[in-house]
Amino acid sequence: MSEQWMRPSLKGLSLYYNPEIEEKVRMDTSTNLLGANPVAEEVLEDCKKMDLNQYPRPYSDDLRKALADFYSLSLDHFVAGNGSDEILDIIFKSFMDYGERIVMPYPTYSLHDYFVRINGGTWELVDLDQDYQLRVDEMLDTEGKMLILCTPNNPTANSFRKGDVERLVREWEGPVVVDEAYGEFSECSFIPLVDEYRNLIVTRTFSKAYGLAGMRIGYSVAHPDLTSIMLRVRIPYSLDRVSERMAIAALKNRDYVEEIVSVVNRERDRLKEGLEFMGFHTYPSSTNFMMARSPVPSGELTSRLEEKGVLIRDFGDKRGLENCVRTTIGTPELNSLLLEKIEEVLSEWE
C-alpha cells in the first residue's frame, strides 16, 4: 500500500548487502584484516573524558586541519563526513539535479549508482574493455553532467591507467569524481592534481587501509571552489566527536597502514596461486582484494563457504561477472584459512 507513495524513481530499490555476520571470518568487505587500528583503544580511553553533551564542530575542522597538514594543502580543500559514502551522497546532492545523468564505467562500486538514484538522477554505464580498463573515448562521447569512477576499481581490483583518468578529468566538462577508497594500496593518487583541475573531486576513507570501518569516516579533496559548495550541502555535525578524534590519531599512525600494505603485497601472489591451483581464474589486483572466476557456480560456493564460517562476496549475478567472487587479501593465516575452506567445499562438491 505505502509502496505507491514511494518516489517513482525509487521503484525497485532494494536494501544493501546485509549478511549474517555472527562468528564469521569477514573477507567480504575489503577492510584491513590486521584487526582494528591500535589507535582505536587509546582514543576511546581518552574519549571517556570528553564532554559528549557538546556538539562537535559543524564541519569537523580539527580533522580537516589534520588532513591539510598531512597532504600539505589547506583546510578548504577538504570535506569530512560519515564515511566516504556520505561524501558521495553530498557530491550528488551538490552537483546533480533531478533527472540529470551521470556517466560511470561498468562494473564499478555498487553504491555509486545507488546514490545517484536516491538523489533523483539517472546514469549511463560505459563498459570497461576486456582488460577492465576505461574506454575513454566512449566515456567522453557520452552525454552527462558528471563522471564518477573508482581506482583501484571495485570489484575488479585493477587500477586504471593514470593517463586515461587524467584525460577524462582534463576533457570532461563537468565534475569528475575519482573514488580512491583503496588509494593507500596504490602508488597512484589524483590528490596532487586538485588545484590544477578545478573539476576534480577525490574521495578517500578511513574504512579500508586505516582499519576503522566501524567508525564511519571519509573525506573528499577538491579545489576550494567545489569544496565550499559541498560544505554547504553537508549535514552539519554529521561526523561525531569520537570518530573525528580517532581519524586524527589514525592519520599519524603510519606504521599500521604501511604494515597492511606490505602484508597484502607479500600475500597477493600466494593467494592467486592457491586459487589458480584449484581451478579459479584470477584477475590482476593492485589493492587488498582480488576478483576470481570460480570453477563452480559462485553463489553456491559463497554460501557453502559461509556455512564453514568464511564470508567472501559473490558477484556472479552481475552482467559479465558470471561466477566471479571477490575476496579480501588478508594475513597469511586468513588467506590459508580461506584456501583450505575452498578446498573443502570443492572436495565435497557433487
* Interface contacts to ligand PLP, rule CB under 6 A: 30, 83-85, 109, 150, 154, 179, 181, 205, 207-208, 213, 218
Cβ atoms 80, 60 nearer than 8 A: yes
CB closer to ligand PLP out of 112 and 223: 112
Beta bridge partners of 328: 289
CB closer to ligand PLP out of 205 and 323: 205
From the CB of 209, what's the least distance to ligand PLP, in Å?
11
CB closer to ligand PLP out of 84 and 238: 84
From the CB of 279, what's the least distance to ligand PLP, in Å?
27
CB closer to ligand PLP out of 208 and 223: 208
User: In angstroms, what CA-CA distances link 98 with 7, 169, 253, 289?
Assistant: 12, 23, 42, 35
From the CB of 154, what's the least distance to ligand PLP, in Å?
4
From the CB of 206, what's the least distance to ligand PLP, in Å?
7
From the CB of 109, what's the least distance to ligand PLP, in Å?
4
Name 237's Cβ contacts closer than 8 Å, sequence gap at least 6. Answer: 55, 56, 58
- Pull the grid cell for residue 157: 581490483
Report, in angstroms and rounded to the nearest whole number, the Rg of the chain calculated over CA atoms.
20
From the CB of 167, what's the least distance to ligand PLP, in Å?
21
From the CB of 200, what's the least distance to ligand PLP, in Å?
16
CB closer to ligand PLP out of 84 and 285: 84
From the CB of 216, what's the least distance to ligand PLP, in Å?
6
CB closer to ligand PLP out of 92 and 109: 109
From the CB of 38, what's the least distance to ligand PLP, in Å?
19
Between CA 127 and CA 124 the distance in angstroms is 10
From the CB of 227, what's the least distance to ligand PLP, in Å?
18
Between CA 175 and CA 220 the distance in angstroms is 13
CB closer to ligand PLP out of 82 and 335: 82
Q: Please state whether beta strands 281-282 and 289-293 pair in parallel, antiparallel, or not at all (unpaired).
A: antiparallel
CB closer to ligand PLP out of 30 and 302: 30
CB closer to ligand PLP out of 33 and 181: 181
Between CA 217 and CA 196 the distance in angstroms is 26
Closest residue to ligand PLP: CB criterion: 83
CB closer to ligand PLP out of 105 and 274: 105
Cβ atoms 124, 249 nearer than 8 A: no
